[in-house]
Amino acid sequence: MDEYVKEALDIVKAQAGVRNMTEDEITSMVQSVADRLRGVESHVEGEQEQAQQKPAVDPKKAIREKSVICLECGKSFKILSKRHLATHGLTPQQYKEKWGFKKNQSLVAKSLSRQRRKKMQEIQLWKKRKTAQE
């Protein structure tokens, strides 16, 4: 007799002590509880396997000059978007936490990040906003 059935018997025995149950109710309840206990353990094991997932590449090398590698699936992108991360059931914050990135780390290729920074310095939007407010 496996451990799930023993645990289920203890649970059903306690239930039968509180109210009258027929023999059919007891056997079906033992089967049902044992199946649910098995399901709970397999669900917990699945979460542990998912937590021990290996990254597609080393997280320190995922953000490259011309691309960003998704550590979940190994695909290469210029920007690791919310939409893509959602296909893995993650938000950008969860992704960063899971793979050890800093909270303020952008998930963008280094060259694209530099281009954006340069463009923002050229247009100096913050100065235009100050003059518009005055």
pLDDT tens digits for range 92-115: 999 999 999 999 999 999 999 999
Spatial distance between the Cα atoms of 84 and 77, rounded to a whole number of angstroms: 10
pLDDT, mean of residues 4-30: 87
pLDDT, mean of residues 68-95: 93
Q: Which two tokens stand for residue 129?
A: 């906003």
Length of the chain equals 134
What φ, ψ does residue 69 adopt, rounded to 5°?
-95, 125
Strand-pairing partners, residue 76, are 69
Q: Are residues 107 and 63 in contact, defined by beta-carbon separation less than 8 angstroms?
A: yes
Q: What is the pLDDT of residue 107?
A: 94
| Percent of the chain scoring above 70 in pLDDT | 90
Q: Which two tokens stand for residue 88?
A: 């893995």
User: Is the pLDDT higher at 50 or at 71?
Assistant: 71
**Angle between helix 23-51 and helix 3-18 axes, rounded to 10 deg:** 130
Q: How confident is the model at residue 50 (pLDDT cuts 50, 70, 90)?
A: low
Spatial distance between the Cα atoms of 122 and 54, rounded to a whole number of angstroms: 41
The whole model's pTM is what? 0.54
Q: How many angstroms separate the Cα of 70 from the Cα of each of 74, 102, 113?
A: 5, 16, 17
Q: What is the pLDDT of residue 57?
A: 87
Q: What is the pLDDT of residue 12?
A: 86
Q: Please check the confidence at residue 9 and state whether its pLDDT lies above 80.
A: yes
Q: What is the pLDDT of residue 128?
A: 77
Spatial distance between the Cα atoms of 63 and 66, rounded to a whole number of angstroms: 8
Q: Please check the confidence at residue 51 and state whether its pLDDT lies above 60.
A: no
Q: What is the pLDDT of residue 44?
A: 61
